Structure 1
Amino acid sequence: MGLLVQKPPRYLPLLLLRKIMASRCLSSSCSSSFHSFSSLPSISSSSSLLFTPRVTFPLRRFPSLFLVQNAVSPRAFMSSSTATESVQERTSSKAYGSDQIQVLKGLEPVRKRPGMYIGSTGPRGLHHLVYEILDNAVDEAQAGYASRIEIVLHLDNSVSITDNGRGIPTDLHPVTQKSALETVLTVLHAGGKFGGSNSGYSVSGGLHGVGLSVVNALSEELEVTVWRNGKEFQQKYSHGNPVTALTCYALPEESKDRQGTCIKFWPDKEVFTTEIQFDYSVIGGRVRELAFLNPKLTITLRKEDDDPEKSQYDEYYYGGGLVEYVNWLNNDKVLVFSDEFCLLVVVPAAFIFCLSLVFNFCHLTYLLELFMVSFIHGELKSIVDGIKFLKMLHVFTYL
């Protein structure tokens, strides 16, 4: 016989949790027991949940997954690199003065609160490190200086990303009195993507001057190589700090024209709460999107393996851009209308500056409203012109 005779509301777990917490507080004993479901009142009278008679049964009979079903490990979303921070020794002093105000310098804030910069210390945050370096390389391509990006997932769980762009500047920075390369790797909010007359990019993605230094801070080791002005520059870092001086070598005559940047990093095991292992398919999905968004760009992805037969390699190049992406999305669908005229536009995804709008479509809503108003006022000669307008703004549509 069922214990609940009516469909439980979606907030039932919350009500049960409130009941358990309240009864544990009201009880004078600390027995390892929970409330029986049979003691629950009718769901409609939820206000009485806190004051029902206490009935106990052994803990082993209570399904522990009931309260943590579909939950994610709390550590995966902790912004601290230390799992035990919440139980650190607390001072009993009630004094609160200037001594209690902490000042974090350099990259300390990143290591103290990594989730603030990469979202989590779980798999999502781990892969975000790759995306930050990749976004920098894509910015070079969008600026017209790079045409190829190579990504390698190495056997030692490190990742290297190489582009043939202009290369990070290595001359002395007037403010920090360090090389520009060391500046962008060790100083937060140092980069060429903040706009204005001195900006190095007209459009860009990523964390605008934060991404490279964040990856450096959260890496056990990082190696950077820059090819620029007929020379090769190299420097190594550990936990965000330089461990070698910037070295410079003249390139051989046959390689004098080589330009670009290579970043190789080893994520710090002390920071991440997940196994340091990159998912080839996850990174491949992001790389495919970027290749569609940048039709003149070639991106290669390779994963090394002890067994050559298990190694993976893919090359992404889509000269058709958005049109080819739409065709790829619709490869298993039947074309109902001609691609030259369509009355219905269904938008499954949107991107701005190569960044996917997953959680908020307000930008897309604005563009669609602008499209309709322009069409009604006669500013767009036809719906076809409107669709081309949406394509230009990187709004993907099923045609």
Structure 2
Amino acid sequence: MGQTHDWASQVDVEHLERIRRAPALFAPGGVGHLILEVVAYAEEEAAANGGGRCSITLHADGSVTVSDNGRGTATVVDRQGQVVKKPVMVSRDLRFFDAPDAPCLADGHPRRGISVVAALSEWLVHTNRRDNGSWTQRYEHALPITDLVPIEADGTTGTTVQFRPAEAVRAMGTVKVDELLWSPQLSVEVNDLR
């Protein structure tokens, strides 16, 4: 698979603002579409690794947590020795965003990338566990408000994204668990705590 994001663009403010101005276009149907955008990355990991697991928790406060057991978000060490992560939350997915032939998610709408989730959420926490280090980072209204905060390794790998969709997205409708569909390679557990 080729390059998915521009590593030089750590925060693409113009891209994020474009999404925030058009929630109905980028999250058709509401929160369910945002969940599918996150799960699409877990599906890719599962397909590349011969299977995988994902859990989705719908919380009483309107937030959602999606966790998978993939490899975690890619990171590199820059020339100053600082860990830099692939800017998946705050830049365009070069494969899908604005692509006329972007694949559709299970809801029948085009895949745009996980930056749509960050842009259309009040807050988002991205937790990453990789063989070469684990960390978490918080975003508010799509912008990172913390650096990468190291967390203790627990012997697992994977990505957890917890987010609270913006009111405009929540107002588009409630998530119906039975309408969320998955790929055959990904085993999904849904915990509805609403």
Give the TM-score normalised by structure 2: 0.75
1:107 is aligned, of 10, 13, 16, to 16
User: What is the Cα deviation at residue 178 of structure 1?
Assistant: 8.5
1:272 aligns with 2:169: yes
Match of 2:84 in 1: 179
User: What is the Cα deviation at residue 138 of structure 1?
Assistant: 1.1
Match of 1:189 in 2: 93
Q: Is the 8 A contact 2:56 2:67 kept in 1?
A: yes
Per-residue Cα deviation, 1:245-304 (whole angstroms, up to 9, x for no partner): 1112341xxx33x110000000111x33717x743xx233323xx2xx41x432100111
Helix, strand or coil for the counterpart of 1:140?
helix
> What does 1:140-155 correspond to in 2, within 5 Å?
140-144=45-49, 146-155=51-60
Q: Structure 1 residues 225 and 145 mapped into 2: Cα distance closer, same or farther (>3 Å)?
A: farther
1:224 aligns with 2:135: no
User: What is the Cα deviation at residue 117 of structure 1?
Assistant: 2.1
Greater strand percent: which structure?
Answer: 2
Per-residue Cα deviation, 1:331-361 (whole angstroms, up to 9, x for no partner): xxxxxxxxxxxxxxxxxxxxxxxxxxxxxxx
Greater helix percent: which structure?
Answer: 1
Per-residue Cα deviation, 1:183-235 (whole angstroms, up to 9, x for no partner): 11111235xx57xxxxxxxxx86556x42111000000000101101532100
Q: Is the 8 A contact 1:217 1:239 kept in 2?
A: yes
Q: Is the 8 A contact 1:150 1:300 kept in 2?
A: yes
Q: Structure 1 residues 223 and 232 mapped into 2: Cα distance closer, same or farther (>3 Å)?
A: same
Match of 2:35 in 1: 130
- Give the share of equivalent positions with the same residue, in percent: 29
User: What is the Cα deviation at residue 145 of structure 1?
Assistant: 5.9
Letter in 2 for 1:117: F
Q: Structure 1 residues 205 and 225 mapped into 2: Cα distance closer, same or farther (>3 Å)?
A: farther
Q: Structure 1 residues 146 and 220 mapped into 2: Cα distance closer, same or farther (>3 Å)?
A: farther
Give the TM-score normalised by structure 1: 0.39
Flag structure 2 segments of 5+ consecutive residues without an equivalent: 1-12, 97-102
User: What is the Cα deviation at residue 146 of structure 1?
Assistant: 4.8
1:260 is aligned, of 142, 146, 158, to 158
Helix, strand or coil for the counterpart of 1:234?
strand
Letter in 1 for 2:186: L
Helix, strand or coil for the counterpart of 2:138?
strand
Match of 1:246 in 2: 148
1:285 aligns with 2:179: yes
Helix, strand or coil for the counterpart of 1:150?
strand
Per-residue Cα deviation, 1:135-175 (whole angstroms, up to 9, x for no partner): 1111111112652110100111100000000101122589x
Letter in 1 for 2:129: W
Q: Is the 8 A contact 1:139 1:205 kept in 2?
A: no
| Number of residue equivalences | 170
Match of 2:5 in 1: none
1:301 aligns with 2:154: no
Cα RMSD for the two superposed structures:
2.8
Letter in 2 for 1:129: L
Larger relative CO (CA 8 A, sep 6+): 1 or 2?
2
Q: Structure 1 residues 116 and 299 mapped into 2: Cα distance closer, same or farther (>3 Å)?
A: same
CA distance in 2, matches of 1:179, 1:205: 30
Per-residue Cα deviation, 1:300-329 (whole angstroms, up to 9, x for no partner): 001115xxxxxxxxxxxxxxxxxxxxxxxx
Q: Is the 8 A contact 1:146 1:165 kept in 2?
A: no
CA distance in 1, matches of 2:76, 2:190: 31
CA distance in 1, matches of 2:115, 2:186: 25
> What does 1:1-399 correspond to in 2, within 5 Å?
105-119=14-28, 124-144=29-49, 146-171=51-76, 179-181=84-86, 183-190=87-94, 193=95, 206=105, 210-229=112-131, 231-251=133-153, 255-256=154-155, 258-269=156-167, 271-272=168-169, 274=171, 278-279=174-175, 282-287=176-181, 290=182, 293-294=183-184, 296-305=185-194
CA distance in 1, matches of 2:141, 2:178: 27
CA distance in 2, matches of 1:173, 1:141: 29
Flag structure 1 segments of 5+ consecutive residues without an equivalent: 1-103, 195-203, 306-399
Q: Is the 8 A contact 2:57 2:64 kept in 1?
A: yes
Q: Structure 1 residues 205 and 135 mapped into 2: Cα distance closer, same or farther (>3 Å)?
A: farther
**Where has structure 1 moved over 6 Å in runs of 4 or more?**
none
